[in-house]
Chains A and B, each alone.
Chain A
Amino acid sequence: MSRVRGLEELVGPVALVALLALFSGLWVSSVDQVQYVTAIVYVAIVAALYVFVGNSGVISFGQVSFVAIGAFSAGVMTIPVDTKPGVMGTLFPLLRDHSISSPWSLVLAAGLGGVYAFLVGIPLMRLSGIAAGIATLAVLGITFNLFYNWDSIGPAATVESLIPVTTDYWQATVGAVAVICVAFAYQRSRFGRQLRAAREDPAAARAAGIDIHRQRLLAFTLSGALSGFAGGLYVHLLGSIGANQVYLDLTFLTLAMLVVGGVSSLFGAVIGAITISLFNILLVNASGLGIHVFGLKITAPSGTSLVGIAVVMLVILLLRPAGITGGKEFSVPWTAVRRRLSSG
């Protein structure tokens, strides 16, 4: 029974993503589909963010650095080798003269994201609270600054748009579900449980023999690898890469999705990403083409969607300060179900 009950915590988030994918695959026109694929990629990024922030309770502004590493490596390495010297001649020869296929670029993205997170995490995971938040923000600042200016590792200040678009709704769904499964497996493992114990009471966890620094570093590295992977999916969805696409706006958006959903549960991460994305799609369509509500056509000036999404976030936070899920995992109310079955 307890095994079944554990699995439903995985089934809930996966089912949500599958539903979204099914909906976008069956009922959405191919023009609008990209918005839904973006939503699914956001699920992957937020679930990766959750692995560290949710389990450790430490707010990190730095996870988008790993998304950036993943996006840049996957993007730069999949531009066809015959066009690369022409568009980005200043690259290091190793990057300029080689290209890999898009599935391998996802592996590379995950690997580099993990390595970078591990190296950054060794010193930074000693910090907690506000100091940790600001130090990770500094990491993001450095990552952005390097990508924006150094033309030996990427397109620097320009946006490079020759990247093959391979993330369709099928790949995005498989990718997001994979990230969710890894996140689930981690939080159920002894390492995940140790870190969650340290989140609830650091002193007691330390007394019980938990090495908080090591557990945080492990989560940070895993989160970095998943973020890198999600960054790879993201760049193959956008078809272009520029340093500003993976900087503060994405950081704020993904953190907001996580907190709006409920920061300490995987279900919250998924629900937050999907809720905000769906509101965004609704508002974008309303401001572009107009939506029909009870026969009335409502149109709003462009840009209203951004204001609208901020209002939606604020309202959800004011109504449910602990997030939509309240930080709880998905569960079927088994006792109620059983009572219903036995009485009926």
Chain B
Amino acid sequence: MIHVQNLIDAVGLGAVYALVAVGIGLVFGVLRLINFAYGQLIMVAAYALAFTDSWPDAASVGIAVLVAVGASLLMERIVFRPLRTADPSTMLIATFALAYLLENGALLQYSYRQQGIDSDPIGTLARLNQAITIGSLNIRWVSIVAIGTGIVSLGGLALLLNRTTIGLQMRAASMDFRTARLLGVRADSVITAAVAVAGVLAAVAAVITSISAQSVTQRTGFDVTIAVLVGVVAGGIDRLVSATLGGFAIGFATSLVSAELPSSGGTPFTSNVYMPSVIYLAVIVALLLRPDGLFARTSRGAVERV
């Protein structure tokens, strides 16, 4: 039965990672930009949640969403837009710098207030960590919430992308931005929409991760983002579906491998402290076999022949 429980937890983590993967994939689709600062978007939303802990839960979550969307739009306006035509490496480093800025800005808050602790607790929402018992299964509410939210968010996003004009434009822009613009798609509005949706998803991921961690630090969201970035590229960053599957797979595998491996043992690959190595090794193998991504639709076309 413990395996079933591990499986459900793994699906829960996979769902959160899938949401982050969609956020990263959406922005990549329209901007061709790998946003390393996405984790700090999650952090900002998580702080909003922690600081408004005494408010009603719905208001607190609402504020988190607003803050994340605002931060996401601000990032786009101040940094990504001026660099839209710059070299990819410049954009990448700009997102590093942003991430570094926000992380240390958050850290600074504590040195100003001279606080000893380095995390803010999540109080009222944390009761979702209690488990419900079904037969011999102990499932934390937060896992169920994660899976449910994941399904609802991804469903809503699928509707947005497939049933609305802006969704159609976003898909067109991520296929071929230049042609889409020639056909009358407004670059700024498509990018703004994608960035705003990415902000909403960051807030949703922030709520779930900070509930299950029960506290918020300046590193909240960082490790998740690095893992999801790896998963997204291993899955196939060129399509939203493959990117999402990649994100889900990395979350699922991370949770399951670390739950199933023994927790002690010093020599490599005998215990779950080596779980990251196992995952990364699998990612390298996957990339070598399918450089465009495991779930990419077709393999790369013929090499450019001038």
Residues of A with Cβ closer than 8 Å to B?
Answer: 59, 90, 123-124, 126-128, 130-131, 133-135, 137-139, 141-142, 145-146, 149-152, 202-204, 206-207, 248, 252, 255-256, 259-260, 263, 301-304, 306-307, 309-311, 313-314, 317-318, 321-323
Contact = CB atoms under 8 A, between A and B. Distances in A.
B291 A131 contact: yes
A321 B83 CA distance: 7
Contacts of A323: 90
A211 to B, nearest CB: 14
A255 B276 CA distance: 23
Nearest to B97: A313
Contacts of A59: 88-89, 92
Contacts of B280: 138-139, 141-142, 145
Contacts of B237: 130
B283 A138 contact: yes
A314 B93 CA distance: 9
A326 to B, nearest CB: 11
Nearest to B273: A149
A137 B226 CA distance: 9
Interface string B83-102: 10011111011101111110
A141 B287 contact: no
Interface of B: 34, 79, 82-83, 86-90, 92-94, 96-101, 104-105, 107-108, 111-112, 226, 229-230, 233-234, 237, 266-268, 273-274, 276-277, 280-281, 283-284, 287-288, 291-292, 303-306
B83 A318 contact: yes
Nearest to A127: B291
Given A150-B268, A314-B94, A142 B281 contact: yes
A310 B100 contact: yes
Given A146-B277, A256-B97, A301-B112, A306 B104 contact: yes
B277 A131 contact: no
A255 B93 contact: yes
B287 A135 contact: yes
If over half of B's interface residues share one DSSP class (helix, strand or loop), that class is named, otherwise mixed; here it is helix
B101 A314 contact: yes
A135 B291 CA distance: 10
Contact of A317 (B83, B100, B274, B281): B83
A152 B101 contact: no
Contacts of A203: 303-306
Contacts of A255: 93, 96
Nearest to A287: B111
Nearest to B110: A303
Nearest to B232: A134
Contact of A314 (B79, B89, B276): B79
Contacts of B101: 307, 310-311, 314
A152 B90 contact: no
Contacts of A322: 86-87, 90
A207 B34 CA distance: 31
Nearest to B288: A123
A287 B90 CA distance: 28
B90 A248 contact: no
Contact of A318 (B34, B82, B274): B82
Given A314-B94, A317-B97, A152 B107 contact: no
A323 B83 CA distance: 12
Given A248-B226, A301-B112, A307-B104, A145 B90 contact: no
B222 to A, nearest CB: 9
A302 B111 contact: yes
Contact of A259 (B90, B111, B273, B281): B90
B234 to A, nearest CB: 7
A263 B89 CA distance: 8
A318 B85 CA distance: 11
B266 A317 contact: no
A126 B288 contact: yes
A310 B111 CA distance: 18
Nearest to B237: A130
In the A-B complex, list the 3 residue pairs whose CB atoms are closest, starting with the nearest: A310-B101, A321-B86, A306-B104
Contacts of A142: 276-277, 280-281
A207 B306 CA distance: 9
Nearest to B268: A150
B267 A152 contact: yes
Nearest to B230: A134
A271 B76 CA distance: 28
Contact of A252 (B34, B96, B303, B304): B96
B276 to A, nearest CB: 5
Contact of B306 (A135, A141, A204, A321): A204
B34 A130 contact: yes
Contact of A301 (B99, B111, B234, B303): B111
Contacts of B79: 314, 318
